[in-house]
Structure 1
Amino acid sequence: MVTYMEKTSEIMKELANSKKINVEKNNGIKERFSYEKLLKSLVMVETPFFESDKIVAQVVSSLYDGIKTKEIKKIVYECLEDIDGEIANKYLASTQLKVRTSRDTIEAFDLSKIANTLIEETGASQETAFEIATEVWKELKKLNVEYLTAPMIREMVNTKLVEYGLEDLRSRYTRLGIPVYNITSLIENGNRDNANMIHNPESIHKHVADEALKQYALLQMLPSHLADAHMSGDIHIHDLEFFAGRPLNCMQHDIRTFIKYGLKVDGTGDHTSVAGAPNHMETLMNHTGEIMLASQQNMSGGQAMSLWNVFVAPFARGRTYEEIKQSVQMLIYNLNMAYAARGSQVPFTSMVLEFGVPKFLQDVTAYGPKGQVVGTYGDFEEETRLIQKAFTETLLAGDQEGKPHLFPNTIYTLREETLKGDYEEDLHLVHELSAKYGSSYFINMLPDYRGKMANYMGCRTCLQDNWTGDWEQDCLRTGNLAYVTLNLPRIGYQSKDESQVFEYLDEYMDLAAETLMLRREQGLKCLNDFHILPFLKQKVGEDSYYRIQNSTLSFGFVGLNEMLLSLFGKGIEDKDANKFGVKCIEYLNERADKLKEETGLRWSVLQTPAESTAYRFATLDKEQFGDQAIVQGDGSANYYTNSSHVPVNTDVSLIDKIKIEEQYHSLTPGGHIFHAFMGESYSDPDSLMSLTNKIAKKSDIGFWAYSSALSFCLNCKTLMKGLNNKCPTCGESEDVEWYDRITGYVQQVGRAKSSSGGWNPGKRQELIDRRRFEDE
């Protein structure tokens, strides 16, 4: 028999659902009013059932389309105050008082967290800690603010500690950009957000500075709705620490500029020595490395050079092969030993090599020693091939101990003429490199969506001659200005049907587009007003070196597979679900095209290189959505599948994986990659070479790499295939280092017998989950 209260609840639920009211959240995104969500918030603070129904009735009677979340919370709080002040306080703490944490998240206020940090960081007794936390809570209730920040709460705690005469505790709890406790942890344990950085004084210095600049961007530069969207996990704003001072991301250089005009590494020549146009190949090799390093100081992302061996070829004229190789060796070692990029890293560099002189460059004017015209690049076919061979052989040899050279990311361009037989020996050598280290990448210029030119800048960000049609303007002296990533799985959890997916995509893209425009505006200020990017701003002829007007503003995305699983119960491997996935990414491109028309700027879509974002989104969504969240991993370390990739532990064949993922490469002109995680059977260069021919000629895959897991014994210097816990040569287990491709580039994972290392927990779990393809 249905009771009166149950009947009333059912009526309230039907009434609320029948209104189909949209509620506007603090970040501007709208969602349908949920009776269940409101009731749950009341149950969580132990509101009596009968009183809950009355409060819901009061809220439902006040609803209107577009009502703000804070209005609903105010109604609920006022109702609860009339019923029970203690329950009202609980509700205020759990729903109204939100805290922007130093971990870039938004969380409900929790008094016990103040107490626990006091105990952990200062050694305060439990009694003292909770007494101080309670006093702070009393003060916070009086504040009429939508959001608290972790620094604000910390300062209020410090004030209370002073009032209580606890100066010794205050000195340990105070904030120096970041808490004293966190700085101590950095010094003692390091940080694993960036796999390209090791634990040393410079990386500690960088992390402390980064934290202050991140908070500056979130509090000072971004409107609250954009900061909220990032911290809550709707979107991810990459490189927040560089938003204020280094807002420009990746760069594709033109070495010809420096061949003609010489080099000023500070951009002005006021603070460093100035070099004229180079006269020798060795000088040009040195300049190549210095250009990458100098530009890295002005930018947040990777530094790349395309057509490099073609443009350098005139300097190799008259040189023996041994002399050419010696010069190339000097460059590669310098790039891997220039331990001077931000945070004490080597510069993040990429080199795009050609097997010969492309047809469109045959008649282009060539510049040689002292910047003089020396004919056309078609005159230097032999030198172009010798430089590529020298580069590949140097990488194949590894360093003195047999470890792979991790930089530059070396990218080989495949064109129709490349695969016709004349370059077979050169191709085989490159596939020896792939079989040994798995470090080389391939650009496929054969698909119909390609033009004359496409270049990649490390992990996957890409430029193609599809903006103005001029390969120089579109692809050189510019890059990806910035990208913002959309949390696709969250859209799946929130959407009632397929049509609502596109509503959420629009809202998330609105947030991303607004962020990207702010970032571009800051980039212009840094270049033109603040004068803090002199290398990029330097004059070359009549123009500035960096072409910001041709740079891309990109929408990235993570977790298409998990979004499809949430919506359909089937992931990207299912043909019907995948059709909807393609439709969604086509929709992103349509929006990018509209923005091009509206703004005159170069908008694009890319597969995000989500080294940390896939882990961050999954962790946040697991906390917010509980069992509704569909994540990869073992529970202790969750992650989402990267962009539109097939899950790394998939059972589909390599051919089927290619067929699924190739559909997305033409839809992500801002950057993409196909990962082939290869097993032992593909240690044979001939097998890889055969596979390359099939991928290039029979698929729309635009960019890919054959990734092999490696182990290296630091004790006896033995290189091994696979992830080995013990060296078979000397029996060592403590000093076995693992290597694999993290997201784009090959990097150390860490020690086999240690949970520490360069990769975050989500990426380490992904590494364990990866299924390796054997000969099929």
Structure 2
Amino acid sequence: MTKVTKRDGTVVDFNKQKIIDALLKAMIRTEIGIDTNIAENIAKQVITNIKDREKVDIENIQDEVVTALMSSKRKDVAVEYIGHREVRSLKRRERSCLDKKVQGLLYLTDTEVMSENSNKDSQTIPTQRDLLAGIMAKDFAQAYMIPKRVVKAHNNGDIHQHDQDYSPYFPSFNCMLIDLREMLENGFKLGNAQIETPKSITTAAAVTAQIIAQVSSHIYGGNTINEIDKVLAPYVTKSFIKHFRTGMEWLYNADFKYIQSLEISVDSLELASRFPRCYDYAMRLTEKETVDAFQSLEYEINTLVSANGQTPFSTFGFGRGTTWEERQIQKAILKNRIRGLGKEGKTPVFPKLIFALEDGVNLKPEDINYDIKKLAIKCSTLRMYPDILSVPKVKEVTGSFKNPMGCRSFLGQYIENEKEIHNGRFNMGVTTINLPRLAIKANGSESEFYELLDEMLDVCKEALMYRIERLKGVKAKVAPILYMEGATGARLQAEDTIDHLLDNDRSSISLGYIGVHETVLSLFGNHIFDDLVLRQKGINIVKYLSNKAAQWKAETGYGFSLYSTPAESLCYRFCKLDEEQFGVIKGITDKGYYTNSFHLDVNKKTSPFEKIIFEKDYPQYASGGFISYCEFDALVNNPEALEAVWDFAYERVPYFGTNTPVDKCLECGFEGEFEATVMGFKCPNCENRNPKTSSVIRRCCGYLSEPSQRPFNKGKQNEVVSRVKHK
């Protein structure tokens, strides 16, 4: 008698009648109905195929049933049988792994789920609802949507198919540059309201906050207002005109017709000389209104919660504008950030601020905006932001100047109708490859590493093409704010597809990577920083990935790019899976995290200048996403040192951030840097660990977070503890 191993591990005698009963139940659900002879014959055929086996799994028996049905005249029964089998499989999965995750979330015991994103407060109902929906969506996507080879590679830890809780279940994309100028100039519909062009900077800022909230609820990554100082400058002008007219009425008793006949502008020397009191009045009120408008905008962003339960991940890029209006916006952004939030002056996490450095604009003392550079330096010493962009290096690496989308994702150059376009473009998603795992498998063989890399890159391409296919054919009506109201620069009709927004580099699709440091260490047994030959080996790996992305781009016509994955939770996930499979390997799996993309190992003691030089050659190959940053002691009393580092970075890397101590204890008044431990953060003065009476700010990846309120995952916390200062 053949024995059957059931799914729970128990062993029972084979029972022919159970096959017949299952077939009859499937037949009932068909149009033709029951045929007992066919059910009997199928059961006999299965017996014939397994009769020589002493033991067989239940899955093997069901496979035999399906094979027999497909070769019979009742393929309609096979469809019902397979469908019922899949439903049962899904229910079992829900009762096991899925049920465990759901309970872990509801009872706040699954720390991995709760801390996967430090921008999400997993204690709140909106976030828990989003996480719960994400668990279910990811499970369904893996079972029925994502290609099986991709699912297997993801679950094994060979690759990471990002954001499966949103994509592919929903036809959503990653991050974008919002076309704010188009929306404000041409108007748009938001909910039930038709929004016209704003008449002041106050209204423009308020509308901007609502646009950011709406966009954030329709995508799963970050959004950026590219060169916000230039985009919103016209509304500062409108406020000036409004205040000047009021001044004319009250200070000069001018009548309405005369006021309306004046050509009013900020740079009018005639107005300034003819009506000096009114001109000064309008200038002062406009400056105050601009500061107030951006204070409101900052508060709104930090109090908004998008549909996915998190603060909108927003970035403001600015710095190149040189008109009075553009300068006022730059100053307003920086002054408000320096002031901080609330009576305690806490450091805001969002919006991320990026200041563009450009020779002839703000780099040197003789430049028109040098004073704003000095203000930006002061802000960075107090609040970590702004990060900086080197305008010439960004152009060199990406083909044109633009800000990153959210954290670090960059678009390439795109020209349409002989016009260069940046705003409105987006990234369709990321798949990241686990480089250290391939190196471990290669066991010191560089040639074997590249063979394994090619195999896994083929899986990555399939994963990325699936992301594209999921967006093709999508109709504009699924996200009106994006496709019908101008956020992507498009004004499509409800039934139009978005396909043309995906083609020819208009949008990007990214291959990500992690752990160049651990990869080189595993392959060659030495630290990459200490050997010029090994430094080149690391660059060669990234260059190889870049060439592969370029090859895919040429083959498909889609905007494939190489992206230096931030790896907030992935630094932990990959390392944990590899430790489980390969054991504890010194310097690789023993730390609890993998190093972010191409970065220097966080515990390497070196100067900021050496770190910048070490990382400077990578962005040209990883042009789809990159950032470099250094760790410093407090620089509040030494802004000249920060300026020296900024100027050094300007010549060498396109995108640079500064990490300085900005923590605050509300119990003892300490300001500086809390001690980072594996259990969290504590005040070095009074040992306060209470998140309600402390403000701890750390750079998670490319953006800041507040881990005292929303803790990092275990791996990221280990990485933070390991960080050393660059002196």
Question: Counterpart of 2:307?
Answer: 342
Q: What does 1:376-391 correspond to in 2, within 5 Å?
A: 381-391=323-333
SS of 2:190's partner is: coil
SS of 1:454's partner is: coil
SS of 2:459's partner is: helix
In the TM superposition, residue 150 of structure 1 has moved relative to its aligned partner by: 13
Find out whether 1:506 has 2:454 as its counterpart. Answer: yes
SS of 1:486's partner is: strand
Question: Counterpart of 1:167?
Answer: none
Cα distance in 1, alignment partners of residues 474 and 397 from structure 2: 35
Cα–Cα, structure 1 residues 683 and 565, in superposed 2: closer, same or farther, change >3 Å?
A: farther
Of 651, 660, 664, 2:618 maps to: 664
Question: Counterpart of 2:633?
Answer: 679
Task: Output one character per residue of 1:450-497: Cα deviation in whole Å (capped at 9) or x when no partner.
Answer: 6441311222111242x4499965421012111110100011112252
Find out whether 1:324 has 2:290 as its counterpart. Answer: yes
Question: Counterpart of 2:155?
Answer: 231
Of 263, 279, 299, 1:333 maps to: 299
Cα distance in 2, alignment partners of residues 157 and 594 from structure 1: 39
Q: In the alignment, is the contact (CA less than 8 A) between 2:162 and 2:430 conserved in 1?
A: yes
Of 210, 230, 255, 1:310 maps to: 230
Cα distance in 1, alignment partners of residues 97 and 571 from structure 2: 30
Task: Output one character per residue of 1:150-187: Cα deviation in whole Å (capped at 9) or x when no partner.
Answer: 996795699xxxxxxxxxxxxxx689876663343238
SS of 1:553's partner is: strand
Tell me the amino acid that sits aligned with residue 658 of structure 1: I
SS of 1:476's partner is: coil
Cα distance in 1, alignment partners of residues 96 and 399 from structure 2: 57
Q: In the alignment, is the contact (CA less than 8 A) between 2:588 and 2:594 conserved in 1?
A: yes
Question: Counterpart of 1:750?
Answer: 708
Cα distance in 1, alignment partners of residues 585 and 152 from structure 2: 22
In the TM superposition, residue 629 of structure 1 has moved relative to its aligned partner by: 7.4
Task: Output one character per residue of 1:706-763: Cα deviation in whole Å (capped at 9) or x when no partner.
Answer: 0124332244665433437665787745343422101121111127xxxxx4210001
Q: In the alignment, is the contact (CA less than 8 A) between 1:493 and 1:629 conserved in 2?
A: no
Cα distance in 1, alignment partners of residues 605 and 686 from structure 2: 35
Question: Counterpart of 2:436?
Answer: 489
Tell me the amino acid that sits aligned with residue 133 of structure 2: A
Cα distance in 2, alignment partners of residues 644 and 726 from structure 1: 30
Task: Output one character per residue of 1:510-563: Cα deviation in whole Å (capped at 9) or x when no partner.
Answer: 2112111111121234445xx422221205597449833311011110011111
In the TM superposition, residue 392 of structure 1 has moved relative to its aligned partner by: 0.4
Question: Counterpart of 1:561?
Answer: 517
Cα distance in 2, alignment partners of residues 408 and 553 from structure 1: 24
Q: In the alignment, is the contact (CA less than 8 A) between 2:4 and 2:58 conserved in 1?
A: no
Cα distance in 2, alignment partners of residues 470 and 722 from structure 1: 53
Find out whether 1:196 has 2:119 as its counterpart. Answer: yes
Task: Output one character per residue of 1:678-710: Cα deviation in whole Å (capped at 9) or x when no partner.
Answer: 12357522210121112113x1x1111101243
Q: In the alignment, is the contact (CA less than 8 A) between 1:678 and 1:708 conserved in 2?
A: yes
Cα distance in 2, alignment partners of residues 471 and 341 from structure 1: 36
Question: Counterpart of 2:352?
Answer: 409
Cα–Cα, structure 1 residues 142 and 630, in superposed 2: closer, same or farther, change >3 Å?
A: farther
Q: In the alignment, is the contact (CA less than 8 A) between 1:235 and 1:485 conserved in 2?
A: yes
Tell me the amino acid that sits aligned with residue 186 of structure 2: Y
Q: In the alignment, is the contact (CA less than 8 A) between 1:709 and 1:721 conserved in 2?
A: yes
Count of aligned pairs = 588
In the TM superposition, residue 257 of structure 1 has moved relative to its aligned partner by: 0.7
In the TM superposition, residue 419 of structure 1 has moved relative to its aligned partner by: 1.2
Unaligned runs of 5+ in 2: 12-55, 67-84, 241-282
In the TM superposition, residue 446 of structure 1 has moved relative to its aligned partner by: 2.5
Tell me the amino acid that sits aligned with residue 304 of structure 1: T
Task: Output one character per residue of 1:596-651: Cα deviation in whole Å (capped at 9) or x when no partner.
Answer: 221111110110011011110000011111145752665xxx11011111110012
Cα–Cα, structure 1 residues 727 and 520, in superposed 2: closer, same or farther, change >3 Å?
A: same
Find out whether 1:741 has 2:685 as its counterpart. Answer: no
SS of 2:143's partner is: helix
Find out whether 1:439 has 2:385 as its counterpart. Answer: yes
Question: Counterpart of 1:522?
Answer: 470
Cα–Cα, structure 1 residues 511 and 388, in superposed 2: closer, same or farther, change >3 Å?
A: same
Question: Counterpart of 1:393?
Answer: 335
Cα distance in 1, alignment partners of residues 585 and 515 from structure 2: 15
Cα distance in 2, alignment partners of residues 334 and 426 from structure 1: 24
- The answer to which structure, 1 or 2, has the higher relative contact order (CA under 8 A, 6+ apart) is 2
Find out whether 1:693 has 2:613 as its counterpart. Answer: no
Cα–Cα, structure 1 residues 154 and 602, in superposed 2: closer, same or farther, change >3 Å?
A: closer
Question: Counterpart of 2:182?
Answer: 257
| % identical equivalent positions | 27
Tell me the amino acid that sits aligned with residue 702 of structure 2: G
Q: What does 1:561-640 correspond to in 2, within 5 Å?
A: 561-573=517-529, 574-628=531-585, 630-631=587-588, 634=591, 638-640=592-594
Cα distance in 1, alignment partners of residues 147 and 347 from structure 2: 45
Question: Counterpart of 2:220?
Answer: 300
Cα–Cα, structure 1 residues 646 and 712, in superposed 2: closer, same or farther, change >3 Å?
A: same
Q: What does 1:207-226 correspond to in 2, within 5 Å?
A: 207-226=131-150
In the TM superposition, residue 333 of structure 1 has moved relative to its aligned partner by: 1.1
Find out whether 1:241 has 2:169 as its counterpart. Answer: no
Question: Counterpart of 2:664?
Answer: 712
Find out whether 1:642 has 2:596 as its counterpart. Answer: yes
Cα distance in 1, alignment partners of residues 582 and 145 from structure 2: 30
SS of 2:336's partner is: helix
Question: Counterpart of 1:42?
Answer: none
Cα distance in 2, alignment partners of residues 649 and 175 from structure 1: 36
Find out whether 1:420 has 2:368 as its counterpart. Answer: no
SS of 2:705's partner is: strand
SS of 1:278's partner is: coil
In the TM superposition, residue 142 of structure 1 has moved relative to its aligned partner by: 5.5
Q: In the alignment, is the contact (CA less than 8 A) between 1:246 and 1:299 conserved in 2?
A: no
SS of 2:708's partner is: strand
Cα distance in 2, alignment partners of residues 456 and 313 from structure 1: 21
Q: What does 1:718-733 correspond to in 2, within 5 Å?
A: 719-723=671-675, 727=683, 732-733=688-689
Q: What does 1:362-377 correspond to in 2, within 5 Å?
A: none
Cα–Cα, structure 1 residues 595 and 331, in superposed 2: closer, same or farther, change >3 Å?
A: same
Cα distance in 2, alignment partners of residues 575 and 682 from structure 1: 35
Question: Counterpart of 1:64?
Answer: none
Question: Counterpart of 1:123?
Answer: none
Cα distance in 2, alignment partners of residues 433 and 470 from structure 1: 40
Task: Output one character per residue of 1:277-330: Cα deviation in whole Å (capped at 9) or x when no partner.
Answer: 222211110111111111111111011111111121121122531121111111
The answer to which of 227-236 and 446-455 deviates more is 446-455
Return the TM-score normalized by structure 2: 0.75
Cα distance in 2, alignment partners of residues 395 and 666 from structure 1: 32
Cα–Cα, structure 1 residues 694 and 569, in superposed 2: closer, same or farther, change >3 Å?
A: same
Find out whether 1:764 has 2:714 as its counterpart. Answer: no
Find out whether 1:351 has 2:316 as its counterpart. Answer: yes
